[in-house]
Structure 1
């Protein structure tokens, strides 16, 4: 295949030389006219595909990554939903070239003119390609066929004429006719164009296409009266709103060479915002109405409120506001004025003729209200309408009354209301809220349902994954927002006293973290209601709250309901605990008399109230106290371990003695080592833990003080001191109570028997025949008990003492936990004698406290560490 340059040279030669060279290259001479045209067309097509306009916003920014400050400001303005003039962005572009627009499909109605290129392909007996131009006389000269007059014909008519002519003048030839490059025309775009000037466009371009090529409109251009001027006369007035809103392009005429597109300045405008589909600023003309403006704005949204539309208008140099009812057809057809600002608001969220069901129900939401409607009309079945953890004894109806919208609260028994009992099946008003609570306070309690036992293993794993994902999402959100609860917990809500503190200092021993509250728990659902009620007062001037304390399942503050009684308040608190004293309860009431507060106490029989034999009406700020049964306590448990005939955990009555419990447990086995019994108590363990914490803090301060001031004899033992301090912090307190179990059981103890407490544990080991040695010796270990060996003998058997040992303070820990020094004073100036060892004893060689910077607390530290180790060794050896 010859190159493009060779083809051009061939075309420049006479016809005879072209045929001779074509035969030499093996090319049909007739094909030379078309040879290489595909490459030129491809190059032209690539050029045609290059955009002639680009986005105005990228004109400055396409060669850089960062945005200019004004562009950032423009983006922020767009986020604020600033009203823009309608339609301008449709044509907003930046002309990148003034080359004619080509490469678009040629319509069949296109009029052929001088300069158009036509591609003619003959095939049959031979294949010939012709790429021909319409000459100045309007002819196409087809080789071996002749000339054909085509100027002024439509594109489809030209195709038919050429086919007909070739059929008449040739034999056995078929023809395919298509357009090549079309001629370009020059048009002028003037007036309020973005870039006025002369533009070369395709000969079949329309007004809208030319406007797009020129970059659209300036900021003050009119879209309603674009004029096409031809020969000094206005051919058409193009209203672009017809094209953009209605899709009507009948006025979008095809341009001719020399046409002028004139864009006048913008006329009057009207802004439309709010609940419309396309809020913007629209240009108006003539006597257009509100209905026309709403059509321009794409119509109203479904929740637009047409009964009260705000129109801000400028009249005689003054601004005024009118509120119009556009639901009235006559008002809708009224005319608008330039400068009007129309705002359509949304329909209020308040739903009339409905009641709201909220809480632990299967189908929460709004229900249609009808006169005479009752709770049972919404809740027909506790099984199908309520969640399985719904509280069937406590529900509320919240109602707004009067112009001031004061809240009234009515309490009902959910189960009785479903059954249709008149006392609880309350009649509802429109806009009432019906609240159904969970009978649990925490999410963990709600999850422990019996239905969970029927889940398969895969279902349990899926549920666990969902809970883990929810927990992660919650933690992620809290981490992103960095919500601080300090202000909420520490503030007093703008100076108001927290609700619970209205009844004195609240008891927070059983307080639940807000994160742990169940979704429909009392605390969570009552919170918004209580906040509103706090600003109301009863007829007696009290806040509409009541407080229940004592032996109820959910003590706390509750709203004062209209039908408030002591029995309903107990039901609101989740009922009574097993420990509630039914013969007597007490109401504390504050009465206001002549501006002074008097406290009144009203005692009553709680059993009569619960059974319904009587009831007591409540008023604001009443406090109901449900007492506990005297001598009632939760089950006290004591554990017996080791060589007990029937070891285990025993429930005891308050005040029971150890000897009585051992008798209940059948006594001890024959292998019991009573002298080594270890008795531990929970409250002693807590005391030891607090003492070790305080001792550690004092020791840290003393170590720091010695380190700074340089007191003491040696600084080289600082690391050892820190290590021993770490050992102290890691010691688990035992809570051991030193007891002489054989004397207690024989009744010989001077202190008497041991009165048991909840959580006490007695460890009775097996018989022991060993002696343990620990502390500052070469090898801490245990030896078989030998009556002939002394403390010194056992120390020597362990390799003797270390350099840091305090040999003057060696002591023996007896099997029962008591301490006895190794050397005992016998006279005024001497020490003699040695502690007599017994099976199960432990010899402790303590650390010399003078070796470690003369710290006074070291003796206490080492004693705690060694004694705890001895006690734990005794317990673990059982």
Structure 2
């Protein structure tokens, strides 16, 4: 961006940051910032700083005067230091192009003049938004919309030998060898350079090569004998260091016409970019004239640069050159299946083939047989169909709109084969593949499971309806019937015998390691299926295997038997012997589809079952259930009996994790009590110590835990908890004993009988249910008022 380049160059040239203080000099510059009072440095935006700099740059004051002027405006040394830091940050963030390196970066480097024009939108890159509309764009317009592209000349290349020297150019002459010297010569406004002790040398209008020869010749006359001649031992190197600026004028249909200051190395593209390029709505991208001395010296066609990177006409400009962008002659639109749909500019003599080349040619799915044209006539539009043969000679006209269609989703020579063939898929209808037999042969023949009694062809009729053609494929393949010719879009389907039946499977259940249902395999025996299921479990009874088989044969009437049952005895080595004289129950017995094999479990085989006893017993732990008659009392004895601290009234017996309400207090003294339950697998028995706590919960004022007292009754504990609440259901209060049993209050008339309280019990007082239908105070008042009104009305009626 030009502002940043000028700023960086100026900073290096002055060898300090003092020059930036010019921004504080001009009162008008301060008024430009919305007429606000004196601003501190941190209140200025980057754009403000650079705008101040541009206005102050031409003042010509010295650095001391600049600093004094800033302080006279009320700025302190801290403000000046902040300004230096601010400009240093801007300079750090500024990325200089390679062709605009500062002059001090290396000896003899080339710099740009400080008064170059800049593109007006370079400071608004962040505000540029992509055009999200689907409007077709003019081809080439996007080239100048990219704010990061500048077409600036490269200053690090060697000076072109045909470069024309002019005022403000700086030429450096470096003499080395037997004699030395270093001269920095600036071309004066009258076109001369001045070497000390020598007459002025006129170089304006000469090429750099001619100027070099003239300067060296004058130096020879001034005492450098033999300079630049072979064998003299003295050589001279003439280079162009700082180049001048030139002014060019852009007129015609450009985005921003006007006069621009550019580098003397600038080209036509450089100037066009500064002006925003041709106007996409009215300007020509193909007829850009460079006028020099009232004569057109070159005509630039941007399509040559965009499509072929041809820069032959991108010539270097000279001072006072005029670039004129003419009006476009004809625009045509090309849309559809092309690689670059756009609006294209055409010149006389160009054909539709040329426009297609501008668009990158047809797309991959383009319909190439014809192109549809919508053309304007004197009164209306008309449709024109352009065939593929006419494209090369068809001449477009202004306003034409061409559309390239997409090919149809159909095939002109496709036939398909699916099903029980070796290679199903799509095939081309061609000589050698024109019949059903030839298609099956091309598909590597039929599979062994092919159902040859019937095959079908789905064919597309002329009206695009489809019809089904069925035939005996076996007879066709054997030549017993005539072969069937195929047509385009035919689809042949060969069924498989497996597709015409229910899926076959067999099932094995019972005492095997992996009960499963698997696909039926012919010639499979019962032993094979048991092996597939992982073999017998330990509790299996191999001498009793049953096979249940469906009755698949049809018969007259209704059969009494629902299925056939076969029994076998198999040893653990999977050797089968018939158990009964049942037809088919032999070592050669083979399974059929849908058979179910049952492997029974031995009646005397059971895995270990155990119960857990813990708490106040002598030997807590897990105990195996020895027999089917073992009870709770038996396992307590096996656990060594009870400890002295055991509290049998609170013993908790659980089955499947659920607490069973059971009073085991009399169990030890009388094993025949009904509470002495039979044990089951995973039962647990917990015998606690005596608990001295009574918990009171629910609708009491202070739910809490209370110490057990022998002389306390149910209501005493309620009183200890603060008594009942207003919404307590007192007659429904109940108690949960530590062994899981429960007891409730009993009421008769006005008398309520409370249950006894044992240590460790929990007293629960339920709440009354919320009456959602209860009337509010306001509703009751309203009803009373209504009743009073009705009563008064009735009295008045009766008194009449």
TM-score where L is the length of structure 1: 0.46
Structure with more helix by fraction: 1
Whose radius of gyration is greater, 1 or 2? 2
TM-score where L is the length of structure 2: 0.50
